[in-house]
Copies of this chain bind each other. A is one copy, B any other.
């Protein structure tokens, strides 16, 4: 938490930007939640603790955090961007439940080499990748069976 705040402050200083209570508070709320939240969901949580913070500040802070490397956008294609922690969190991919919308993270060491090889073949310089597996998560399967 402290480390993230320092990281943010360093970023702000480096870019001639200024600290603010709002930014710090939004970061705190964001870090407190381990889920992949939409901006609106984060906004709700922020409003609960700090009702005076406006929604554009949340959007702006979120974008800032992405630029600063503290957050990452996850786009599951439902219209709203989700945000996940990016600081000291390793690379990973997602299982996305089409029923409940939940995201499960996973890592598999075999992916990267394949990606690099494919790119090599196409003479493509890889910056990043995303592997999303869509389907139904275990919880939702159980629920279906109970019916």
Contact = CB atoms under 8 A, between A and B. Distances in A.
The interface size bin for chain A is 35 or more
A134 B129 CA distance: 6
Given A95-B118, A110-B110, A111-B114, A126 B135 contact: yes
A86 to B, nearest CB: 16
A125 B99 CA distance: 11
A135 B123 contact: no
A75 interface: yes
Contact of A118 (B108, B128, B129, B136): B108
Nearest to A104: B122
Given A75-B75, A75-B77, A77-B75, A124 B133 contact: yes
A15 interface: no
27 contacts: A73-B77, A95-B124, A98-B127, A106-B121, A110-B110, A110-B114, A111-B114, A115-B131, A123-B141, A124-B133, A124-B135, A124-B136, A124-B137, A124-B138, A125-B136, A125-B141, A126-B133, A126-B134, A127-B136, A128-B134, A128-B135, A129-B131, A129-B132, A129-B133, A129-B134, A130-B134, A131-B132
